[in-house]
Chain A
Amino acid sequence: MLSYLLRMAVKSLKRNPILSALIVCGIGLGIAVSTTFITTYHLMSSNPIPHKSDSLYYVEMDNWDPARGWNDDKPGAVPNQITYRDMIEIMKSNIPTHQGGSFKGSLYVYPPAQVARPFKVVARMCFSDFFALFDPPFQYGSIWPRSADKGPEQVIVLDYETNQKLFGGQDSVGKTVRVEDRDFVVAGVLKPWQPQPKYYDPHNGAFEKAEQIYLPFEFLRPWELHSAGNTSGWKNFGENFKEYLASEAVWIQMWVQLDSQKQKEAYRDFLNAYVNGQKKLGRMLRPTNNKLLPVMEWLKEEQVVPEEATSLMLISLLFLVVCALNLIGILLGKFLARAPEIGVRRALGASKRAIFLQHIFECEVVGILGGALGVLLSLLGLRAINTLFEINFRFHLDVKMVAAAAGLALVAGLIAGLYPAWRICSIQPAVYLKEQ
């Protein structure tokens, strides 16, 4: 029966090819616009580390001004980074499977003169556990040992591009790279890695490039390195670097991996105890409000997906509905013009249900054709967005989005076809039999 319905639908579309093309284009346009904006939303809001996003937690604590909260517009909000002193203290816990604070720094690399001129890089100052937390893939070598964090030892991990630039893409493990005034031994080289969004530190743009080099955190002291990202404070940062490190300035992103509920509860107790201890020392005088945010909640709190993307997606869906509603009139006219044929079919034994199904099927065929056209157009739309907006993010259609486009096309076909199909199946056949 399906093949018969398909044949009838194709014959019907061929009967008036220009009108059929207009209907397909109507649906196609709606699908193209909605698929383009749903794809941008989908990719921006996608889970960057699905295999462990429920066990990675971003740590927040409220060290802010007792007289005035972190965000007047959001009661209960706490600073979205932590202080150096708090990071050092809470990293003494042995509860998390992995843990570590990190921050973004700006440094200079001095390659041999014959290789390249000195250049500025964005570095991630982090602990060995950073790699265990976020699983960046290694092309050569591996993470530096935990012991190297303490020295700190002069070890470095390069990203793929920096290794290309410095060593022509060769295995550079064991070779040295001069950063600022020190030589660092390459412990590992990453494969191309660009978490999207850059969830471990979205503060300066959730879709900015990942760092070019990774260095042990404690090199901040000899270099007196300040964060190249956001730093916020409610007190004076101090006269010198030592005071800066001991200040209430927040500039470190702290992550922990807690693999079980028990571990999570224990770590929460640990944080509460730590904050209570600080209160006794005259710090953290606001109500205790420690947060352990899983990856997706953290991204939601940081509003990684711009409100505009959400609005555009909703508007594009409305546009699709409007396209479908506009087609109701055209389909109604097309179907009613066929009333005499339907009268004959009814006389020959077709039930109302059979006639309804025949026409809904035709609308769904139109929907699928429109969907296919829409997917092609949305590829152009995404290419245009990639060209127009200079962000470090490539919007592309994936299988899920193609499936979503197909689903939307079927829904659009149904919206457009329900009323016309109902009207044509409800005609009084006797009236049209005599008219033919």
Chain B
Amino acid sequence: MLEMKKLSKIYRTDTIETHALSEFDLEVKRGEFLAIMGPSGCGKTTFLNVTGLLDTFESGTYLLDGKDVSNLNDAEMSRIRNDKIGFIFQSFNLIPDLNVFDNVDVPLRYGRRSAQERKKAIEQVLETVGLRSRIKHYPSQLSGGQQQRVAIARALVNSPRLILADEPTGNLDSQMAGEIMDLLGQINQQGTTVIMVTHDPDLSARAARTVHLRDGRIVGLQPETRAPLHEQVNAPSNSEATC
């Protein structure tokens, strides 16, 4: 699904250079559920931004679906984000003055689907996340868990191949967090690649593989990757790349 080789990302100010990602190597297979862990400032979010084509990188190569993305222009990157990538954020990032329908509609508006197709896709995806009945509600009228479900519906509505989740349960209580993780598990089981940044080892335990970052590098050896969730018959205990 994606392959990064010796990828480096540096943030510069007048006086200091920060290597957010350094000589970063990672390969993620299609349908994999990958958890990214590490202390604050280790480069997790930078990794997600670069992976999601929201940020550029200085050197190295990044192949997404076999395509080198290093020389794409803004329109091409936007098209890929729209077609292939779904984002889920810790604070949901719903647009407050749009109702559930319109929030889920946002990515579809940047595609080329007819109004009828959009409506059908939105209703279908809201059915999947169990919020069909809340279609006219505004974010402020929903609980945190429901808002995150809407955000997941928004991420899924274009049927992306890759879901990037940045601490998707960080603002939820444990029960809600469990529900959201179940939902992500279901999405992954249907063949969608999921990369999730988390601080919570219990959540990372749900992923097929966990990568630990420190100072912009993957630390320790990556153990053998388990089969993607949708290919597992009985989920074995989690394996991790250790620091």
Chain A interfacial positions (CB closer than 8 Å to B):
1, 4, 11, 14-15, 340-341, 343-354, 428-430, 433-434, 436
Q: Is the interface of A mostly helix, strand, loop or mixed?
A: helix
User: Which residue of B74, B91, B97 contacts A351 across the interface (Cβ within 8 Å)?
Assistant: B74
Asked if residues A344 and B93 are in contact (CB atoms below 8 Å), the reply is yes
Q: Which residue of A lies closest to B76 (CB)?
A: A351
1/0 contact trace for B156-173 toward A, CB 8 Å?
001000000010000000
Q: How far is the CB of B35 from chain A (nearest CB, A)?
A: 19
Q: Is B87 an interface residue (CB 8 A)?
A: yes
CA distance A177 to B45 in the complex (A): 98
Residues of A within 8 A of B81 (CB): 346-349
Residues of B within 8 A of A430 (CB): 45, 49, 54-55
CA distance A56 to B190 in the complex (A): 84
**With A347-B81, A349-B78, A351-B75: A436-B91 Cβ-Cβ less than 8 Å:** yes
**With A15-B97, A344-B95, A436-B89: A350-B110 Cβ-Cβ less than 8 Å:** yes
CA distance A351 to B5 in the complex (A): 27
**With A348-B87, A349-B107, A433-B89: A428-B79 Cβ-Cβ less than 8 Å:** no
User: Which residue of A352, A428, A433 contacts B93 across the interface (Cβ within 8 Å)?
Assistant: A433
**With A353-B75, A429-B54: A348-B49 Cβ-Cβ less than 8 Å:** no
Chain B interfacial positions (CB closer than 8 Å to A):
45, 49, 52, 54-55, 74-75, 78-79, 81-83, 87, 89, 91, 93, 95, 97-98, 106-107, 109-111, 154, 158, 166
Q: Which residue of A lies closest to B89 (CB)?
A: A433
Q: Which residue of A lies closest to B84 (CB)?
A: A349
CA distance A1 to B111 in the complex (A): 11
Residues of A within 8 A of B55 (CB): 428, 430
Q: How far is the CB of A16 from chain B (nearest CB, A)?
A: 11
Residues of A within 8 A of B79 (CB): 349, 351
Q: How far is the CB of A335 from chain B (nearest CB, A)?
A: 15
CA distance A349 to B55 in the complex (A): 14
CA distance A340 to B54 in the complex (A): 13
Asked if residues B89 and A346 are in contact (CB atoms below 8 Å), the reply is no
Residues of B within 8 A of A352 (CB): 74-75, 78
CA distance A429 to B93 in the complex (A): 12
Residue pairs across A and B with Cβ atoms less than 8 A apart, 15 shown, are: A11-B97, A15-B97, A340-B93, A346-B54, A347-B54, A347-B87, A348-B82, A348-B106, A348-B110, A349-B81, A350-B78, A351-B74, A428-B55, A433-B93, A434-B166
Residues of B within 8 A of A350 (CB): 78, 82, 110
User: Which residue of A14, A15, A349, A433 contacts B110 across the interface (Cβ within 8 Å)?
Assistant: A349
CA distance A428 to B91 in the complex (A): 18
CA distance A428 to B45 in the complex (A): 14
